[in-house]
Amino acid sequence: MELILELAAQTVQMFGVLVIAPFLLGITRKVKARLLRRIGPPMFQPYRDLWKLMHKEAVLAHNASWLYRVAPYCVFATTWVAAALVPTYSTGLIFSWSADLIAIVALLATGRFALALAGMDVGTAFGGIGSSREMMIASLAEPAMLLVVFTVALVAGTTQLSTIAAAFTEAHVGLRVSLGLALFAFVFVGIAENARIPIDNPATHLELTMVHEAMVLEYSGRHLAMIEAAAALKLTLYFSLLVCLFAPFGMATTDRSIAALALGGAAYLAKIALLAALLPIGETAVAKMRVFRYPIFLGGAFAAAALAVFLLFVSRGL
Amino acid sequence: MVAVIALWCVAALAIVAASATILGRLAVGTPIIYAGSLVASLVALAAALAHLLDPHAAVATLTLPIGVPWLGTHFRIDPLSAFFLIVTNLGGAAASLYALGYGRHEAAPLRVLPYFPAYLAGMNLVVLADDAFTFLVAWEFMSLASWALVLADHRAPENARAAFIYLVMASFGTLCLLLAFGLLAGPEGGYVFATIRDSHPQPVIASLVLLLVLVGAGSKAGLVPLHVWLPLAHPAAPSHVSALMSGVMTKVAVYGFIRIIFDLVGELAWWHSLIVLALAGLTTVLGVLYALMQHDLKRLLAYHTVENIGIIYIGLGLALAFKANGIDWAAALALTAGLFHVLNHSIFKSLLFFGAGAVLTATHERDMERLGGLIHTMPKTAFAFLIGCIAISALPPLNGFVSEWLTFQAILVSPQLPQWGLKLMVPSVGALLALSAALAAACFVKAFGVTFLGRSRSHAAQTAKEVDRFSLSAMFILATLCLLAGVLPGVVIDILAPVTQSLVGSVVPKHAGPPWFSIVPIAESRSSYNGMIILLFLVISGWLTALFIHRFATRATRRSAIWDCGYPDPSTATQYSSSSFAMPIRRVFGTTVFDVHERIDMPRPGEMRAGNFQLKVFDPAWRMVYGPLTRLVDTAANRLNALQFLTIRSYLTLTFSALIVLLIVVAAWS
């Protein structure tokens, strides 16, 4: 019985993130449209888009290989598993020990690896430019992300996300310079990894500056649906991670009653909805960057996170 | 018992090598030689594995009355050498199996066949040796055998140059090791390892030995800035030998370092680890950055070996730091991470070189700019190579990730180290390691993407044929090992337990068996990773997704022309090439790390001539280290040249005064 409940809690988490992910994208797009004085699509539009894409025939180039067809599933599966392992409404889910924060970052890297390869599969200039730039961004963002992981791991004394969240909920961590720097770096990395302005523009097409969209340019139909769903899941994952690491209050930790879990769920939904609304506000305030200014942006994140780690090595109290 | 078996295997390899000089002339000779090497390697592998897995196994020693009269030849198998015997013979067996197919394409078999088993024998002997004399002879034998193999295709001028540089570096490395052993043996000349182990060297001697071993073994392993020979020599050899040089010989060099520093010297000060960590961090990032700039597939792989050696040395450096501070369990963790990576790298680097060799056989091309689209013509090779790429990029659920994860865990316990130097060095190394992990992924997206994906850039790539069954089976066996070590890392960690027990006196907790093959290096609440569950999750979620799509959506698929935003270009030259893929990273790091010479010749509007773009990326180690060094040697040689034209009286005076000076030195010393 215990086991069934545990499994149910894990399943709720796994399918929960999948269900809400497009909605978050919907909120983001709506807020952005309103900020630009447009009415914008309804918030459920991303679901309809996905459904429509899934029912369209997939058009493959003549020379597309098996890798091209497998990659979307790979990307989706890795992102989904990673998202399912980030604690959202409750800590200590049954499979949370199977991967720690480093493994979650690496799982996202696996997905990116598959997508970057798929971008090169057909052999077009656009696919190549997208893959090359995506890997460049990743090679700057991932180390910054790992240093953020180091920071929180050093503060909490563990890389296990559930344990970190539980430790941070118990509030004796307090405000710390290192965590502030880590948050700063994390936001920068999240923006870059999710291809948001100022690094990339998810709404553009046919622009030489596009990165992510260039990489998936040849995709259509159900494959594109998978990739879009994975992108939405990735955004959800980063929101969940932000909430879990830097604002875990409300999350069910030791008390596993239905009420506590429901409270955790409500708190989680409110927090990520807020983040989904904040993101476009930030995005409308800045302009898209030129490609070779990314290193400055991401180097800033890397430096901030490295500083945080150094502070922690020097003194556990900072 | 196990020492006897291992030595018989070495003897068998030597006999095979000798018979190759005759058999190599016959057509049937090639398979016989490689089959012989395969059997000998497999027997040695099985013996070493059985020895390491047996919990009651005693340290096996054996002394043969040959060699230096008063010394004899000592052999010994303890857990460390057993582990490295496994690594060596696993690589050796895989390479022999691969060569059963690949070796048939050899133009001049007599230039390869005798040296290949000799090379294997040499590497085994290094690991078995238990006195300085045997060790150095075996080391030099290994170097010379591989040197001969580098020269297998001796007509290409760049191979001759590579072999020359290799010979110089190898001799210099051996000289450093010779001096290190001399210092350790002391004036009494106790060259047997057991004697050295019992004589605790003075701190000054220990420091000197560390530096000498870092240069001696480090030059063989490829620590920056001693790596310059490696990307020249490794690709020059036939591919199965490249695999051995990159995958196994660098590990034998790591063995030399561990044997001398951890086992023979034993006690080191904490600041010694600073040197190792600094070099390791530098090696890691520079290795992968240079690898990214290469467009020769084999040279890219060789440069990437430098990065992995850096990762291994990070583990070793951390182990030294923890050991010097008496935190044995953390030292065991760091050492386990390093040794795990030794095994991993030997597996996937061999696999990747086999893949590169298969591409070379099928297309006669190493330059990625002239490949592409091989996933269609060589699907099996492409698949195996892809597994290798995922593993080496440290991506879950394969094995490369596990060893990097363990290294990260070791870095995360290092705030416990009391010294300030380490408190600043370890996080920097951690940052460099994080950087290199991401760059490695970029490097292998490029390697796989440009070589195997896209449209074929040359006729050779278009008409390539899949390689033979032996080569494929060697690649698939190694790919399977990548997966197994990735999903069952606990088994490998348990195999490593006796090694860390003997070297740092502690082990990482037992892992094999339930619960669910999870690895927990420190404590359950601290960190855990379960490759098997992750793999299961990935498979299930991928399968669920496919099921959902096929059940509730459409499976309709249509083949059509490339879209490419409506402007598809039929020329394959418009694809992203290797150098264009690396361009953003070249721009980001170019000013600081590389010597990049770009020449762009863009015709003005209206001009009818073709545009031209030339790119040359140099390894700054040549400019910064070896340029001044060669100039110094030249200058010194020119100065000393004057000594060549003296009268007989001057020579006698010189000899006499040299004798006096030496006597004074000896008198002052004692």
pLDDT score at B150: 94
Q: B115-128 and B132-150 helices cross at what angle (nearest 10)?
A: 150
Mutate to test the interface with A, among B376, B398, B545, B572 (most CBs of A within 10 A): B545
Residue among A63, A73, A103 minimizing CB distance to B545: A73
Q: Which residues of B are less than 8 Å from A105 in CB distance?
A: none
Chain B residue with the nearest C-alpha to that of A126: B564
What residue segments make up the domains of chain A, in order of their start?
2-314
Question: Using the beta-carbon criterion (under 8 Å), do A139 and B441 form an inter-chain contact?
Answer: yes
CA distance B307 to B286: 7
Give residue-wise pLDDT tens across range B29-38. Answer: 899 999 999 9
Strand partners, B192: B131
pLDDT score at A209: 63
Q: Which residues of B are less than 8 Å from A81 in CB distance?
A: 534, 537-538, 541
- Counting one residue from chain A and one from chain B, the pairs whose CB atoms sit within 8 A come to 279
Give residue-wise pLDDT tens across range B260-299. Answer: 999 998 788 899 999 999 999 999 999 999 999 999 999 9
Q: B239 vs A138, B87, B105, B236, CA distance in Å?
A: 32, 18, 11, 8
**pLDDT grade for B310, boundaries at 50, 70 and 90:** very high
Tokens linked to B375: 């996933």
Chain B residue with the nearest C-alpha to that of A291: B584
The A residues from 227 to 286 touching B (CB cutoff 8 Å) are none
Among B48-57, B380-389, B651-660, which is the least confidently predicted range? B48-57
Query: Taking residues B585-610, what's their average pLDDT?
Result: 84
Question: Using the beta-carbon criterion (under 8 Å), do A136 and B442 form an inter-chain contact?
Answer: yes
Answer whether A18 touches B (CB < 8 Å).
no
Q: Which residues of B are less than 8 Å from A128 in CB distance?
A: 449, 454, 575-576, 580-581
Contact B293/B587 with Cβ under 8 angstroms? no
Answer whether A295 touches B (CB < 8 Å).
yes
pLDDT score at A171: 63
Residue among A58, A135, A309 minimizing CB distance to B441: A135
pLDDT score at A292: 81
**pLDDT grade for B554, boundaries at 50, 70 and 90:** confident
Chain A residue with the nearest C-alpha to that of B554: A55
Mutate to test the interface with A, among B403, B563, B577, B586 (most CBs of A within 10 A): B563
pLDDT score at B269: 87
Q: Which residues of B are less than 8 Å from A77 in CB distance?
A: 538-539, 541-542, 545
| CA nearest neighbour of B455 among B563, B615, B301, B562 | B562
Query: Taking residues B619-646, what's their average pLDDT?
Result: 90
CA distance B191 to B180: 11
pLDDT score at A175: 79
pLDDT score at B178: 95
Tokens linked to B273: 């680890």
pLDDT score at A214: 86
Instruction: Give the 3-state secondary structure of chain A.
Output: CHHHHHHHHHHHHHHHHHHHHHHHHHHHHHHHHHHCCCCCCCCCHHHHHHHHHHCCCEEEECCCCHHHHHHHHHHHHHHHHHHHHCCCCECCCCCHHHCCHHHHHHHHHHHHHHHHHHHHHCCCHHHHHHHHHHHHHHHHHHHHHHHHHHHHHHHHCCCCHHHHHHHHHCCCCCCCHHHHHHHHHHHHHHHHHCCCCCCCCCCCCCCCCCCHHHHCCCCCHHHHHHHHHHHHHHHHHHHHHHHHHHCCCCCECCCCCHHHHHHHHHHHHHHHHHHHHHHHHHHHHCCCCCHHHHHHHHHHHHHHHHHHHHHHHHCCCC
Rounded to the nearest angstrom, the minimum Cα separation between A46 and chain B is 16
Q: Which residues of A are less than 8 Å from B551 in CB distance?
A: none
CA distance B247 to A166: 43
Would you write out chain A's pLDDT as a tens digit for each of its 318 residues?
778 888 888 888 899 999 999 999 999 999 999 999 999 999 999 999 999 999 999 999 999 999 999 999 999 999 999 999 998 888 877 787 788 899 999 999 999 999 999 999 998 888 999 999 999 999 999 999 999 999 999 888 888 888 888 888 876 777 788 999 999 999 999 999 998 888 888 776 655 667 888 888 899 999 999 999 999 999 999 999 999 999 888 888 777 788 888 998 999 999 999 999 999 999 999 888 888 888 899 999 999 999 999 888 887 766
CA distance B20 to B315: 40
Give residue-wise pLDDT tens across range B422-468. Answer: 988 999 999 999 999 999 999 999 999 999 999 999 999 999 999 99
Answer whether A209 touches B (CB < 8 Å).
no
What's chain B's average pLDDT?
Answer: 91
Q: Which residues of A are less than 8 Å from B524 in CB distance?
A: 97
Answer whether A102 touches B (CB < 8 Å).
yes
Q: Which residues of B are less than 8 Å from A126 in CB distance?
A: 564-565
